[in-house]
Amino acid sequence: MTYCVGMVLDKGLVLMSDTRTNSGVDNISTFRKLSHWSVPGERIIAVMTAGNLATTQAVISQLEERTKAPGERDNTLLKGATMFQVATEIGRLLRATIENVQRANGEGGKGRFTATMIVAGQIRGMQPRLFMIYPEGNFIEASHDTPFFQIGETKYGRPILLRGYDRDMSFEDAVKLTMVSFDSTLKANLSVGLPLDLLVIAKDAFAPTHAHRVSAGDAYFEAISRGWGNALRSAFHSLPAYRFSDDA
């Protein structure tokens, strides 16, 4: 499984992904699921992936390949006029990749090759945008009503995001919130694991503002994990006590 969160803030974009991949619980590996490309001063595009690893790697490799010889081929990633065009092209690639492997595998083939992606970025002259791309290639965009997307193992870490997210929060608070959400998920589900990749993209920076890999033993993540357990217990004790006498 996987857990990725992407959020839009007034100040820009915050993305975090885990790196665990597994084919059964006895076959666990670490793969990067957060990639980004930028044209300094002009655009930055980041992609996070969840789902079949061969599928997501094929899509990311194709995106990467195109940036290597940009003159020779259509490169929507680095040249698309809008984030909408970029999301459309990545969606098309994702769908085609899934269809290819399913076709090769035949009607009777086993296995699920689907994948889901979060695409985030900004192109000069436009706002930062955040999309969630489905295996079918279509996508939805984050809005004021739904300002963050999760993919993969989304449920454990969702309540704290719903409670804690604020559009005008600082990057530091957003990173802290995201780490709490990941900590809740890691505590509950073995299929999501360290290290975590973090990418912060300030509005109008057109370059990574901050990138960090949270590995096992990361002092800040450990402080959050330990502190959150204690803080939750305090929060819990601060709530009014239930009284049996209230009712029958």
- Residue ranges in contact with a copy of itself by CB under 8 A: 155-160, 162-164, 171-173, 175-177, 179-180, 184-185, 187-188, 200, 209-212, 220, 223-224, 227-229, 231-236, 238-244, 246-248
CB of 153 to a copy of itself, least distance (A): 8
CB of 164 to a copy of itself, least distance (A): 5
CB of 235 to a copy of itself, least distance (A): 4
**Cα–Cα separations (whole angstroms), residue 184 to 102, 147, 178:** 35, 20, 10
One-letter amino acid of 220: Y
CB of 87 to a copy of itself, least distance (A): 26
Is the Cβ of residue 113 or residue 156 nearer to a copy of itself in the bound state? 156
CB of 174 to a copy of itself, least distance (A): 9
- The partner residues of 15 in beta bridges, in order of sequence, read 6, 199
| Interatomic CA distance for residues 141 and 162, integer angstroms | 18
Contacts of 22 (CB under 8 A, 6+ apart): 1, 28, 29, 191
Is the Cβ of residue 168 or residue 242 nearer to a copy of itself in the bound state? 242
Q: Contact at 8 Å (CB) between 62 and 93? A: yes
Residue 208, burial from CB neighbour count under 10 angstroms (0-12, 13-18, 19+): middle
Is the Cβ of residue 27 or residue 234 nearer to a copy of itself in the bound state? 234
Is the Cβ of residue 99 or residue 173 nearer to a copy of itself in the bound state? 173
Is the Cβ of residue 28 or residue 188 nearer to a copy of itself in the bound state? 188
Q: What's the distance, Cα to Cα, between the start and end of the chain in Å? A: 45
- Which residue is it, tokens 């940036």? 67
| Interatomic CA distance for residues 239 and 14, integer angstroms | 31
Is the Cβ of residue 22 or residue 62 nearer to a copy of itself in the bound state? 22
CB of 176 to a copy of itself, least distance (A): 5
